[in-house]
Structure 1
Amino acid sequence: MAYPYPYQQQPQPSASAPMPAVPTTVFGPQYCAPYPVDLAIVKKVMTISDGNFVVTDINGNIVFKVKGSLLTLRDRRVLIDAAGNPIATLRRKIMTAHDRWQAYRGESTEAKDLIFTLKRSSLIQFKTKLDVFLATNTKEDVCDFKVKGSWFERSCVVYAGESNTIVAQMHKKHTVQSILIGKDNFTVTVYPNIDYAFIVALIVILDEINEDEKAE
C-alpha cells in the first residue's frame, strides 16, 4: 500500500518514545505518517528570492520550501508545499517580551485562521526552551508541545506537552559543501503519527530566534 508521505523504510520507534495511538494533526492529516519520517532541511544562507529553507525526503525529493517576505524579511515566513501552495504563515508578534510567534493557515494572518502560538518558556535561558500552544488552547496554562534546543550542541528535541515523550528530534550537520556554498544542513526525525509539516515550522521559528540571539 502506498502512502502519500515522504518515503521511509519504517524503522521502529524506541521504547522511550511510544507511538501515539491517534495521529497528532496540526496542519493536516496528510502530514501524519504511520511510521518515522526522516527529513533533510537545507538553510540557504546566501539567497535572494528562492526562499531560505528547502525540505526534502531521504531520496532528495522536495517536500516543503520556506520563503520570507521581502518587506518583512525577519518577521514573516511562509511554509509552502512542493507544488508552491502556501500551507502556513509564520509571523513574529512585534513588541513582546517572550519572542512570541504565531502560525496561520495559508497566507492569512487573521485570528480565525490561527493554528498555534509559540513563545519562550522564560526570559532568561541558557538553553532555548519554547512553549507551543495550539489555537484551541486559549488559556495557555499548559503547553501542548515544548521545544528544547541547544545551538551550541547543534540539536533540538520536540516533546508532547510537559511530558518526556519525544515527538521529533533535529540534528545539525556541517559538511564541506555547506561551508563552501553557505548552507546549513539539518536532519529531522519525526515520530509516527506526528504532523511533520508542523515540526518543520517549529524548527524554522527556532532558527529565527537563534539568529536574533547571534545578532544581539
Structure 2
Amino acid sequence: MTKVYPNAASPLPQVCGGECRELEADPVSAVLTVWKKSLIFNCDGFTVFGADGRLVYRVDNYMFRNKGEIVLMDALGNCLLTVRRKRLSLSDSWTVFDGETADNPRFFVRKSANLLNTKCVASVTSAGGGRSKNEMLYEIQGSYPRRCCTFYDDKRRQVAEIRQKESSIKGVDFGADVFRLVVNPGMDAAAAMAIVIVLDQMYGSSTARFFLTN
C-alpha cells in the first residue's frame, strides 16, 4: 500500500489545467498532506502530515460532540482553533476562534453568493483583533470538490493552495480524500487548515455536513 504522508522530494503536480496556476513552494513554505480521515475509530475528521511524514494537525469529530463545532488540534491533542457555524446566519457562515472558547474570534469564513464572481468559493474576513471587523483577509477561488483552490490575500497575493496529491507509484490514485495544502510564508498554516475544514463543510460530502448541521 502506498504511503499517504508526503515524500519531501516529490514535486507539486499540475492537475487542474488552466484553472489553477502552479504554486512553486518557497523553501520555507509549509507543504502539508491532508488525509480526510480520523485516526480514531468511529470518528469523522482529518489527519495532517508535514513534509517529513510527521503528524502536524488532527481533527477527530466524535458523534456525541456539539454538532456545530469542530476543533483543530496539534499532534499532541492540544486545541489550536475551534470552528463554529453561525446558526442564525442567512448564508453559510462560520467563525474561527482561538483555542476552545468562544471568547476570541479570529476570523469569519462565508460561502460566496456573488453571482458576478463565480470563481470565488468563499471569503475570509477579520473578526477584529487589530484590524477592522469584516475587513477582507483572504479570498478562496477554484473548486474544493476537485481539490483545486487558491487562497489570495487582500493584496491579491497567492498565499496558499489546495491541490490533489499524486502517488509516486504508477497507477495508484489517492482520490479526493488525500490532497496537498501548501502554505506560503506570511500565512498561518493552522488558519489555512481551519479554512480547509470550513470548505469541506460547505462543499464536501453530504455525510460530513449532516453530522454538523442536524
TM-score by length of 2: 0.71
1:78 CA drift (Å):
0.2
1:123 CA drift (Å):
6.0
2:194 to 190, 198, 201: 201
1:15-37 deviation per Cα after TM superposition (whole angstroms, max 9, x unaligned): x99x9xxxxxxxxxxxxx98111
Q: Which runs of 5+ in 2 are unaligned?
A: 1-7, 12-21
Q: Structure 1's 34 and 87: CA in aligned 2 closer, same or farther, altered over 3 A?
A: farther
Residue 132 of structure 2 is aligned to residue 145 of structure 1: no
Distance 1:51 1:62 in 2: 17
Higher relative contact order (CA 8 A, sep 6+): 1
Distance 2:199 2:38 in 1: 16
Alpha-carbon RMSD: 3.6
Residue 54 of structure 2 is aligned to residue 61 of structure 1: yes
Residue 158 of structure 2 is aligned to residue 159 of structure 1: no
1:37-94 deviation per Cα after TM superposition (whole angstroms, max 9, x unaligned): 1000000189744551001011210001012253456521100011111011101111
Whether the 8 Å CA contact 2:40–2:60 is kept in 1: the answer is no
Q: What residue in structure 1 maps to residue 106 of structure 2?
A: 115
Q: What residue in structure 2 maps to residue 134 of structure 1?
A: 126
Q: What residue in structure 2 maps to residue 171 of structure 1?
A: 163
- In terms of fraction of residues, the more helix-rich structure is 1
Q: What residue in structure 1 maps to residue 179 of structure 2?
A: 186
1:88-113 deviation per Cα after TM superposition (whole angstroms, max 9, x unaligned): 11011113222110011111123xx1
Q: Structure 1's 150 and 120: CA in aligned 2 closer, same or farther, altered over 3 A?
A: same
Distance 1:134 1:41 in 2: 25
Give secondary structure in 1 for the equivalent of 2:32. strand
Give secondary structure in 2 for the equivalent of 1:94. coil
1:136-160 deviation per Cα after TM superposition (whole angstroms, max 9, x unaligned): 14542x4111112313543111110
Distance 1:94 1:123 in 2: 21
2:96 to 94, 103, 111: 103
Distance 1:129 1:200 in 2: 16
Distance 1:178 1:188 in 2: 15
Number of matched residues? 185
Q: What residue in structure 2 maps to residue 93 of structure 1?
A: 86
**Percentage of identical aligned residues:** 26
Distance 1:186 1:94 in 2: 29
Q: Which runs of 5+ in 1 are unaligned?
A: 1-7, 20-32
Counterpart amino acid of residue 108 in structure 1:
T
Whether the 8 Å CA contact 2:34–2:181 is kept in 1: the answer is yes
Give secondary structure in 1 for the equivalent of 2:177. strand
Q: What residue in structure 1 maps to residue 71 of structure 2?
A: 78
Distance 2:203 2:120 in 1: 8
Distance 1:87 1:34 in 2: 25
